[in-house]
Amino acid sequence: MSDEVENTKENPLVESLLPTTNEDEMKKLMQDLDKEQAYREHKCWRQSITVIVSVVFCFFQLYATLSGTIPAQLVRASHLAFVQFLAFLLFPATKSMPKNTLPLYDVILAFVGAGCWCYYIINFHEIVMRAGAYTAIDIIVGIIGIIILFESCRRIVGLPIMIIAGAFIIYAFIGKYLPGFLNHRGYKLTRVVSHLYYTTEGIMGTPIGACSTFIFLFIMFGSFLEKTGIGQFFIDTCNAIAGGASGGPAKVAVLSSALLGTVSGSSVSNTVGSGSFTIPMMKKLGYRGEFAGAVEAAASTGGQLMPPIMGAAAFLMAESVGVPYLTVVKAAIIPALLYFAGIFITVHLEAHKLGLKGLPKEEIPRFLPLFLSRGYMILPLVVIIYFLCSGKTATYSALMGIISIIIIAIAVSLIDVSKGKKPRFGLDDLVDVLCAAARGIISVAIACGMAGIIIGVVTLTGLGLKLGAGLVALAHGKLFVTLILTMVSSIILGMGAPTTANYLITSTITASAIVRCVYGAGSPSPEQLLPAHMFAFYFGIIADVTPPVALAAIAGAAIAKARPMRTAVNATKLAIGAFIVPYMFIYNPQMLMLGANALSILGITVTALLGMFAISVGLEGYAFAHTGFLNNFNLALPVKKAASVVERLAFLAAGLCCIDPNPKTDVFGIAFLVALLALQVLRRKRNKALVEG
């Protein structure tokens, strides 16, 4: 047995998923790692029912958005009714259950789950007129609805968020028995259920409000994009740009994953989708399996940090913090640039260290013919970004993007028909898109509903401020210690959660600690809240490559035939920017373009990029030559290794000084980096002379 195959024994999940570009194997991999992909594929009448419900769901959402005449509570309740019905029709109780059957109990759960929200819709006016005087039937329906939401969360989203939401509900009941800052007066069953189920402070709160409007539209937009084949177009374009460079396939993975990830919002599906193409290419070129899988995982995860969409988190952040959407996008630019620059530079250094070349010229598509033949695919993205930057709402921009895709699809199909070809986009494709959009929103809506429970308990008990005060007290008021505690909490809370739910949970629970530590009992402005929210979001997202869970890294390892934990460690090293930059923008928000002019932004960007280069050298142990200023001397190996460690630490120190947006540290960091690079150049020349001599 080969070492690569034997390595898969480290993880039973990876053991059964030996890497392949076979479509069925990729699908199985996504189903095993991503609960959202483990849906039933019905046949005959069952398929017809799910298709009809999905299409009706999509048209209802479009009508509700365009008309604007339906009360927000009814839109949210209807949204949840459709979601609960489809959740139990499409997702089995466990991943191992057959995907071609539909047990009677799931049919019952589907109707009961949807019926609980239909009860609210039918009795909406009576519930409103009763003004908080809830009946016994109201409470029973609310309890059943919450229990069924938990079950659908267990099936589709996963245990972490379900456990957190359950703990919060328990806290609402037992808080009066807890000591210290966790103590509150306690609440009865009627108050808790009514607050969580019937008010816009709970399940039907801001998360579901966002999900039932612009998030749904962006998921539909993404389904249209996927159907047009834009993912392959991105890969081909990046291949044309960077495929021939040193270590080309790895650079293609970084660029294409950044483009795909900002739209998809799923690190696992992005890793599998683009990784099935890029990882085998990287290995063929000479990259180690652990490194190849890590590159794709780190880049795919970082796609959710990439503006302008950030997996729909940009819109949620704008709404939660209370700042314009463009403020969030501008704030995310420099951190995202540094994140991907770190990965790109490390990939480049690894390629030079190993002596890897780019792809052969004949395997690289030509950019101009590619752009002329398929460049129309990016027009919908251009449209949506144009309207967003013009100050239009996210909902309006998404609608314009969808309309532009439909117009382009019709135009392309008409051209195909005029040439006697089969049209590339027909009625069946439209139905597929609508079904994919309805299926794609299920996990997001359920996660948003669970996040609503967490937020509901926080607003009911005042826990948000108490948690912030508790973390600050634990850190003895020290900002750096508070940031470390917040980082650890956000990584734990973010494990396995979809992007949107990830942001909602981490920002609700952990961001308040940073705000409390920085501003005390004051009332910071929305722009002052943004760094804390961005900090929590970054570490929640990076959980997808951070051991021990590291779902994206495990997906990359499975494709690459590599050790999963070693792949995760490599991915964490590649994603080092996400562990450093958030600390920097908390101490100096100018990195988020808050209160900074164009000249200072340019200076911050240039010095920070130099800093990421230095940090990448320190982690990689190579710039122009291997680190170790004693390598050319006849000394013991431990001494040479110690010298290498010292030099790597020096590069790391220089990098941190450059990233810190402070003129004094920038000057010191740049001078230190120049000196270190000069030593590297001299060592390279000496090595070359020794080889030639």
The answer to whether position 149 is within a domain reads yes
The distance from CA 38 to its chain's CA centroid, rounded to whole angstroms, is: 19
Give the 3-state secondary structure of residue 617. helix
The answer to whether position 536 is within a domain reads no
Cis peptide, bond prior to residue 249, ω within 30 of zero: no
- How many domains, the chain? 2
What pLDDT sits at residue 17?
A: 37
Give the 3-state secondary structure of residue 626. strand
Which tokens belong to 90?
């499409």
pLDDT above 80 for 413: yes
Instruction: Compute the distance between CA of residue 643 and CA of residue 163 in angstroms, rounded to an integer.
Output: 48
What pLDDT sits at residue 14?
A: 40
pLDDT above 90 for 142: yes
Instruction: Compute the distance between CA of residue 197 and CA of residue 132 in angstroms, rounded to an integer.
Output: 12
Reported as a pLDDT band with limits 50, 70 and 90, residue 181 is confident
Which of 44 and 356 is assigned the larger pLDDT?
Answer: 356
pLDDT above 60 for 11: no
pLDDT above 70 for 21: no
Instruction: Compute the distance between CA of residue 195 and CA of residue 201 in angstroms, rounded to an integer.
Output: 7
3-state secondary structure 547-588: CCCCHHHHHHHHHHCCCHHHHHHHHHHHCHHHHHHHHHHHHC
How large a percentage of the chain has pLDDT more than 70?
A: 93
The answer to whether position 153 is within a domain reads yes
Angstrom CA distances, 515 to 490, 505, 508, 595, stand at: 15, 16, 12, 18
The residue from 185, 214, 233 where one domain ends is: 185
Q: Residue 137, class by beta-carbon neighbours within 10 Å (0-12 exposed, 13-18 middle, 19+ buried)?
A: exposed
The answer to whether position 22 is within a domain reads yes
pLDDT above 90 for 194: yes
The distance from CA 465 to its chain's CA centroid, rounded to whole angstroms, is: 26
What pLDDT sits at residue 157?
A: 84
Which of 408 and 32 is assigned the larger pLDDT?
Answer: 408
What pLDDT sits at residue 60?
A: 96
The lowest-confidence range among 26-30, 53-57, 182-186 is 26-30
pLDDT above 80 for 539: yes
Give the 3-state secondary structure of residue 622. strand
Q: DSSP character for 660? A: S
Segment 193-213 mean pLDDT? 92
What pLDDT sits at residue 34?
A: 62
Which tokens belong to 165?
């939401």
What pLDDT sits at residue 15?
A: 41
What pLDDT sits at residue 29?
A: 66
Which tokens belong to 15?
């053991």
Q: Do residues 295 and 343 touch, judged by C-beta distance below 8 A? A: yes
The residue from 132, 159, 185 where one domain ends is: 185
Instruction: Compute the distance between CA of residue 215 and CA of residue 601 in angstroms, rounded to an integer.
Output: 31
Of 595, 588, 601, the closest CA to residue 527 belongs to: 595
Measured from the Cβ of residue 188, the count of other Cβ atoms closer than 10 Å reads: 10
Single-letter amino acid, residue 91: F
What pLDDT sits at residue 477?
A: 84
What pLDDT sits at residue 18?
A: 37
364 backbone φψ class: left, alpha, beta (φ>0; ψ -120 to 50): beta
pLDDT above 60 for 3: no
Q: Residue 370, class by beta-carbon neighbours within 10 Å (0-12 exposed, 13-18 middle, 19+ buried)?
A: middle
Q: Do residues 541 and 301 touch, judged by C-beta distance below 8 A? A: yes
Which tokens belong to 371?
């752009």
Residues 6+ apart with CB under 8 A from 546: 491, 568, 572
Q: Do residues 307 and 315 touch, judged by C-beta distance below 8 A? A: no
Dihedral Cα 219, 226, 415, 397, nearest 10 deg: 30
pLDDT in tens, 569-624: 999 999 998 999 999 999 888 889 988 788 888 888 899 999 999 999 999 999 88
The answer to whether position 2 is within a domain reads no
pLDDT in tens, 260-285: 777 776 788 788 877 887 888 888 88
Instruction: Compute the distance between CA of residue 634 and CA of residue 640 in angstroms, rounded to an integer.
Output: 9
Residue 622 sits at φ, ψ, to 5 deg, of -160, 135
What residues make up the domain containing 88? Answer: 18-185
Of 602, 644, 642, the closest CA to residue 623 belongs to: 644
The residue from 155, 185, 215 where one domain ends is: 185
Instruction: Compute the distance between CA of residue 220 and CA of residue 180 in angstroms, rounded to an integer.
Output: 47
What pLDDT sits at residue 415?
A: 87
The lowest-confidence range among 121-135, 463-477, 541-555 is 463-477
Mean pLDDT of the chain: 86
3-state secondary structure 338-389: HHHHHHHHHHHHHHHHHCCCCCCHHHCCCHHHHHHHHHHHHHHHHHHHHHHH
pLDDT in tens, 65-124: 888 899 999 999 999 999 999 999 999 988 778 878 889 999 999 999 999 999 999 999
Segment 628-644 mean pLDDT? 78
Measured from the Cβ of residue 375, the count of other Cβ atoms closer than 10 Å reads: 13
How large a percentage of the chain has pLDDT more than 90?
A: 35
pLDDT above 70 for 33: no
The answer to whether position 108 is within a domain reads yes
